[in-house]
Amino acid sequence: MIHDAQMDYYGTRLATCSSDRSVKIFDVRNGGQILIADLRGHEGPVWQVAWAHPMYGNILASCSYDRKVIIWKEENGTWEKTYEYTGHDSSVNSVCWAPHDYGLILACGSSDGAISLLSYTGDGQWEVKKISNAHTIGCNAVSWAPAVVPGSLIEQPSGQKPNYIKRFASGGCDNLVKIWKEEDGQWKEEQKLEAHSDWVRDVAWAPSIGLPTSTIASCSQDGRVFIWTCDDASGNSWSPKLLHKFNDVVWHVSWSITANILAVSGGDNKVTLWKESVDGLWACISDVNKGQGGVSALPEGQQNEQ
Amino acid sequence: MKLKEVDRTAMQAWSPAQQHPIYLATGTSAQQLDATFSTSASLEIFELDLSDPSLNMKSCATFSSSHRYHKLIWGPHSMTSGERVSGVLIAGGENGNVILYDPDKIIAGDTEVIIAQKDKHTGPVRALDVNMFQTNLVASGANESEIYIWDLNNFAMPMTPGVKTQPLEDISSIAWNRQVQHILASASPSGRATVWDLRKNEPIIKVSDHNNRMHCSGLAWHPDVATQMVLASEDDRLPVIQMWDLRFASSPLRVLESHTRGILAIAWSMADSELLLSCGKDAKILCSSPNTGEVLYELPTNTQWCFDIQWCPRNPAVLSAASFDGRISIYSIMGGSTDSLRQKQVDQLSSSFGNLDPFGTGQPLPPLQLPQQTVPQSVVLPLKKPPKWIQRPVGASFSFGGKLVTFENAKLQQQPGVQQQEQQHHHVYVSQVVTEKEFLARSNQLQEAVQSEGFVSYCQKKIDTAQADFEKNVWAFLKVNFEEDSRVKYLELLGYRKDDLRKKIASALNKEGLADGGLGETLTESDESVPNVGDEGQATEEQFLGESVKDHKQETEDLGSAKKTFNISVSGDVDGLITQALLTGNFESAVDLCLHDNRMADAIILAISGGQELLSRTQEKYFAKMQSKITRLITAVVTKNWKEIVQSCDLRNWREALAAVLTYARPDEFAALCDLLGNRLESEGDSLLQTQACLCYICAGNVEKLVACWTKAQDGNNPLSLQDLIEKVVILRKAVQLSQTVDPNVVGALLAEKMSQYANLLAAQGSIAAALTFLPANTNQPNIVLLRDRLCRARGDIPVGQEALKAQYERQPKGQAGPVVEQMQGPQAPSQQYYQQVRIAPTVTTWSNKTPTALPSHPPAGCPSDTQGDNPPPPGFIMPGAVNPNMPPQQVTPSNYSMYSQAGTRPTYPQTYQATQQYSCGTGGPALYQPQQPIAVPASASYTNPAPNTTPPYLPSAPAHSLPSPLYPGQPQPSPTSLNPVCSFPLPLGASFQHGRPGPPATSVAYALPTGPTGPQNGWNDPPALNRAAKKKKVPSNFLPPVPITFPIMNPLADPQSQVQQPPAPAAPMGAPSFQPPHLPAGPAVLQGGYPTAPQPLGPCVGPPAASKPSTEGAPGAPIGNAIQHVQALPTEKITKKPIPEEHLVLKTTFEALIQRCLLSASDPQTKRKLDDANKRLEFLYDKLREQTLSPTIISGLHNIVKSIETRNYQEGLNIHTHIVSTSNFSETSAFMPVLKVVLTQANKLGV
């Protein structure tokens, strides 16, 4: 059973992870599919994978029910485990790399309720910060805010190191979306967004397109998808807008690179695409006919879970 | 992991799944007393608030009840409408009563909370269950085999499922089937379970264990499999859970024996049928898989037994357990750490007793010693097996290029009773998401137009389809750019048709009494009096108009003279004085007199006779005196000071001002004037005028301003409006390249931003290739550089999976790279392939990355590389027939390197080495090719490779490279190191690279620029991305569209020309060897020569001098190329160079051709170097030509030299040279004349 599939930065490689404890990497250029690597190391179902920005090399993070986060790296054409994080007490459900501007930082959300932040400090060392009890019963998703400098949303005077404020959003079994902000090296809960009435299954912070508005999509067990927006630079006033109430669990939301389309995948195995109209209403622009365009389909001969 | 706890001895019921927030109802349990021996009872409701980290449950309501409860359930059925809290609480009491409570009212604090109550049962009601399918049906069981089915809508009359079972016994548990709504099961302590079919109203099967030790405390149906159920035994002698399948009901399917003492309660998760909770007298709470018998989890508990356990219907990971120590605990089965905070103090527990003195003894009870055998573990592990509900079955994520990756796992279609998991289909799909169809369609049209160069028809189509007049106007203006006599057409667009005007004038003249001055009513009319100031295009018409005016004047004069007889008066009045002055030839006085007397016409007519000086003075005076509406216009016409008009005209007359500019302005000031006018319009608050400013910018060919102005006026975030803009910009840029002397290739910051925005949009729609063609090529903006890299890689041109390639920023996508490499290995590989390979090599740069810090440096590096990749293939490449293997590689590789150096950030340039190799190879001839293969290999490998020569050449080359910069004093020199010739040797590797780079640009240019803009200007900026598209068309499929940083150098060469030249290319091989001396030193020299005049290398290679000529034209740009790179580093800076006047271009071409010929036949490196150097230094000459600062004598002398060169009479050339030197100012000629002498001498010696 596949639990995640992510393309790399260029859209030329596909990483999948599965209940069979494997992480696989395919080369999907030109519509083909070549298995490049079958990464073994997890002892449980692997929930999510995340590609780091290529400026750091070919790096993939994966998280699993086995409570581990593994960071894989391609060295000399071979993929190997470069770091294994075992600091969680329960299933690690989500991993997300910070914007590359911040360095190599990985946020991990776990069913133990905590969120870990792993920062690469060089020489193979990773520094760990942990937010305990971020979400009671568990954190299901983490998603970083794009690297935007407060106050100057458009351009930075060059040569000056931008004073980024690091933020990410998380969603959990306490039905909350939370926004975390780093202050003086410490992660603090900045906002608690309440609208969902059941587990928040996924959160996705929209990529920045140069506008001063921050946008987050969240989806829930309760079938609702909310679009949260915040117009003020201080990040204090978030308002939710219900995108749609589905009849089934909504598992996943994903923004297009240009941040104008949201893909929503639900428990009914349907994927729908949503777009905001000029008047601010969200409309479903299409159901995704899977494989349309026929780029590729990966038949997986893998085992069922366990 | 424990989440919450409540100190109650109570039965519990979770609110139904649809209820939010989640409540837990507790009802004081019967048959248990706490230490107070209180007999009071209550019904309480708590809220589960998980956002509160404490262990306390928030109590929402308490209702004092007269009953104690054996069973409490919370059904979803709504008894009343409109309540905030859904469902109904159903309680089983001690005395056979079934009571319905309204939880909403309880929470509201209402006192009337009982909906209904019936005492139909005998004995305590221990068993209750709600039908999942008809939630108004509730089954209850009590003593004496009593089972009732209650319809909550008709509560008064319960039904029975059939005849009571015999013997009569207590009903300990009852459960509705989870799959079939009319099936009910009941169990009794005797160990027997009965399954009832309510449709038949009778028991259909009885299940019982034969050993008679089963003592059923719990019964649960399988959530998914209709025929399966479990029975739990309370008997310590048989502490088992039996799994039965009714299809085989003679013995249990499976027996779970995990408990050591009797089991008190079970609960089967509705969310995951693998999870069955059980709690027993062994004080354990276990979670097992009934399907396998495996214990998946053991909850860390206190040591007390739990007598009730419930899954939370809404939150599948949460369960509650009521224990005999008077506590209800809420747990998560997902594990986690129970940190100290969450642990309630034990003494808090005992204090609940301590403060009381229940017996009135006056003595508090001793603290209760609770058995604390298990110290709570700080870390609780989760289930061994992941619960179903956290397994994401479906997902979709966007990735670059508008691709959507989706995966799904077909849902299990489990057949009832079938255990096996069926084969699932696991698929990952990659789809292309296209949402902006119109946008794409228009973009395609635009690209087609660019490729086919069908600009006129494209514009026409736009005009035809334009909705708004302004749109029409804009497109009409744009279209004019591609037509002959563009200025005239502009005028027409502004409403000034020459033909019409002529007619008007003619009719005006036919009316009597019109004075000459009367013609000046309109601007255009005034034009007539000043013929031929306009550009050549208008010349004929102007001429015509001018003549007509003259005729007219003639006419009036005739008329005048015919009137009277001639009478010369010498009286004392003014007339007389004038007459006298005239008679004495004193024009000046006569004119003064006329002026004084306000006889303007007389004054001016006289002044004409009085000589130029007098005329102009008179004009001045006239203008100073006259203040009519049109005086300023006339002033401007006469003095040619159009700036004045443009600056001061009323903006409502912008049309007229523009018309005047169109008519009169010299080409070199035309654009500036249009700009000026546009600026004024734009700065005016009026939005209409602002849009009109766009027209001025179009006339001016000022793309950047157009973008700025347009952006201001339009909503920028709509893809289609962006498309609107880009269409115009692209067309305008094309036009500018075609027609104007203005530098067309500057991509300003704003335009770059728009273009990259556009490219982003295209990419998001999956048009990666198109996005690449539109992406500005010559910008250093990190985001564009990154985007380009991403686009190139997204096209899949880069091999993946090789460490060496990782993180490279190469833009060069070639799908063919792989195959090409193989071919390359063969020494005989066709040159084309070779070329490509070469290009590949540069791409291999890896990011210095690996550490986060690397990033900053990265962007610049990437940019240069990109450009290199984009470079169009060398001519040889294009023309399959004619291949000059040597040449292309040289040029190409160096260029790449130089690019890198520009970036400057990267400390290591492995690639540079490669480049050198290639270079050497090129010199060596075909055999050398083999070494190049390494190129494909990571840079380091290549480095080691061969060609001993290779590295050295580079260093020398650096100096050479630096040279060009001095040539162009005007140019900014961003990177001091590379530019300074003196330091050139010591230069870091990077510097050396730069020098190499110029060469490639040259090659690229030829391809890149379809249109032949004037050379010098182009040099500064890469050709617009559009060019690429155009090229694309011409280039074979394998050619990557690219982005070439097209170097300006190349621009000079019109595409057609370059292609023409290419045919000669075959000759090059011969030339090449000679060109590049094998020696290391020679190498650098060659390089230098190559790029300063990039074309030169081409030319020589090409072979025949004639062929080389065109290339040489391009040459001027080449040196610029270097400068350009630097310029790129400073994106904001914009440098333009004037073109060499056409009449002098021959100087450049001839000299360059000569040098190339010499180079071809020169054998010793020294000579070659000398020639290369000469080639470069001649840039001084070209610069002077551009500046037009050379005196006519020198110029003519140079032309004579050229003539002598053409006749191969070098001796004569030398003579002329000597003459020039001896007769001219030394400082004027010293920069280039000695060099010219060297060249001539060499030519003479070599006899080329």
Q: What is the DSSP string of B530-559?
A: STT-S-HHHHHHHHHHHHHHHHHHHHHHHH
**Chain A contact for B611 (CB, 8 A cutoff):** no
Q: What is the pLDDT of residue B541?
A: 40
Spell out which residues of chain B touch residue A3, defining contact as CB-CB under 8 Å: 391-392, 395
The per-residue pLDDT for B1224 is: 75
Burial profile B570-601: b = 16 or more Cβ within 10 angstroms, e = fewer = eeeeebebbbbbbeeeebbbbbbbbbeeebbe
pLDDT value at position B252?
Answer: 84
Contact between B1092 and B1178 under an 8 Å Cβ cutoff? The reply is no
The pLDDT score that the predictor gives to residue B1011 is 39
Express each pLDDT in B177-227 by its tens digit.
988 888 899 888 887 888 988 888 888 888 887 767 778 888 899 988 888
Q: Are B1217 and B1233 in contact (CB under 8 A)?
A: yes
Is residue B774 within 8 Å of B754, Cβ to Cβ? no
Residue A284 to chain B, least CA–CA distance (Å)? 12
Regions in chain A scoring below 50 on pLDDT: 152-154, 156, 290-306
Task: For B274-314, give the DSSP string.
Answer: T-EEEEETTS-EEEE-TTT--EEEEE---SS-EEEEEE-SS
pLDDT > 70? residue B856: no
- Asked if B1194 and B1220 touch (Cβ cutoff 8 Å), the reply is yes
**What is the pLDDT averaged over residues B258-275?**
88
Subunit contact A263:B398, Cβ cutoff 8 A: yes
Mean pLDDT, range B423-450, rounded to an integer: 79
The stretch B452-479 carries a mean pLDDT of: 79
Q: Look over chain B and give the mean of its residue pLDDT values, rounded to a whole number.
A: 65
DSSP annotation of B584 reads T
Name the one residue in this structure whose structure tokens are 């992480």: A23
Q: Does pLDDT of B1152 surpass 50?
A: yes
Contact check, Cβ <8 Å, B406/A5: yes
- Structure-model confidence comparison of residues B324 and B1053, the more confident one: B324
Q: Is the dihedral of CA B920, B925, B928, B932 positive or negative?
A: positive
- Given a cut of 60, whether residue B663 has pLDDT beyond it is yes
- Non-local CB neighbours of B536 within 8 Å, separated by 6+ positions: none
Tell me the average pLDDT across B220-239.
87
Give the residue, B53 or B823, on which the prediction is more confident: B53
Contact B88, B74 (CB under 8 A): yes
> Residue B909: which residues within 8 A CB-CB, separation 6 or more?
B897, B900, B901, B939, B989, B990, B993
pLDDT at B310 over 80: yes
pLDDT in tens, B742-752: 554 566 777 77
Verify whether the Cβ–Cβ distance A2 to B407 is below 8 Å: yes
Percent of chain B with pLDDT over 70: 56
Instruction: Give the pLDDT of residue B387.
Output: 87
Lowest-confidence segment of A139-153, B99-113, B689-703, B1009-1023 by average pLDDT: B1009-1023
> Helix (H, G, I), strand (E, B), or coil: what is residue B386?
coil
- pLDDT by residue (tens digit) across B990-1018? 333 334 333 333 333 333 333 333 334 44
Which chain A residues touch B430 with a CB distance below 8 Å? 7, 14, 28, 291, 293, 295-297
Most confident of B67-81, B251-265, B927-941: B251-265
Asked whether the predicted pLDDT for residue B1223 surpasses 70, the reply is: yes
Choice between B779 and A147, residue whose per-residue pLDDT is larger = A147
**Which chain A residue lies closest to B398 (C-alpha atoms)?**
A256
Of the candidates A52, A79, A81, A48, which has an alpha carbon nearest to the alpha carbon of residue A65? Answer: A48
Q: Which of residues 280-319 of B touch A (CB under 8 A)?
A: 314-315, 317-318
Element counts in chain B: helices (H) and strands (E): 50, 33
Higher pLDDT: B367 or B856? It is B367
Query: Is B430 close to A271, i.e. CB distance below 8 A?
Result: no
Q: What is the pLDDT of residue A288?
A: 64
The reported pLDDT for the residue numbered B431 is 83
Distance CA(B609)–CA(B898), nearest Å, equals 64
Around Cβ B464, how many Cβ atoms within 10 Å? 9
β strands within B874-920, DSSP E: none
User: How near does any CA of chain A get to the CA of B284, in Å?
Assistant: 21
More confidently predicted of A153 and B846: A153
Q: Tell me the mean pLDDT in the region B66-76.
A: 86
pLDDT at B713: 66
Q: What is the pLDDT of residue B463?
A: 81
Report the C-alpha gap between B33 and B324 in whole angstroms. 10
Estimate the crossing angle of helix B1082-1090 against helix B887-903, to 10 degrees: 80
Q: Which residues of chain A from 31 to 90 reach within 8 Å of chain B, CB to CB? A: 36, 44-45, 47, 54-58, 65, 67, 74-78, 89-90
Give the pair of three-digit tokens for residue B107.
Answer: 């929470």
Question: Looking at the predicted structure, is the pLDDT value of residue B710 above 80?
Answer: no
Comparing B300 with B161, the larger pLDDT belongs to: B161
- Chain B: residue whose CA lies nearest to A75: B803
Question: Which residue from B712, B402, B718, B401 is spatially nearest to A277, judged by alpha carbons?
Answer: B718
Are B395 and A36 inside 8 Å of each other by CB? Answer: no
Closest CA to B767 of B827, B726, B825: B726
Higher pLDDT, B1203 or B898: B1203
Cβ neighbours of B392 in A, within 8 Å = 3-4, 47, 201, 251-252
DSSP reduced 3-state for B678:
helix
The more confident residue out of B186 and B922 is: B186
Can you list the pairs that A105-109 forms with residues at least 24 positions away whose Cβ atoms lie under 8 Å? Answer: A105/A166, A106/A50, A106/A52, A106/A61, A106/A69, A106/A71, A107/A142, A107/A144, A107/A168, A107/A170, A108/A63, A108/A69, A108/A142, A109/A134, A109/A135, A109/A138, A109/A139, A109/A140, A109/A141, A109/A142, A109/A170, A109/A172
Rounded percentage of chain B residues whose pLDDT exceeds 90: 1
Hunting for tokens 């018309």 — which residue is that?
B659
pLDDT at B1226 over 80: no
Predicted local distance difference test score (pLDDT) of residue B863? 34
Furthest CA-CA distance within chain A? 53
Strand pairing class (B10-14; B127-130): unpaired
* CA-based nearest distance B440→chain A, Å: 15
Q: What is the mean pLDDT of residues B562-571?
A: 58
Tell me the H-state helices in B1014-1081: 1015-1020, 1025-1034, 1055-1061, 1068-1075
Binding-face residues of A in 252-281 toward B, CB within 8 A = 252, 254-258, 260-261, 263-267, 269-271, 273, 275
pLDDT value for B336 = 67
Give residue-wise pLDDT tens across range B568-611.
666 667 777 777 777 777 777 777 778 777 777 777 777 777 77
Mean pLDDT of B413-430: 56
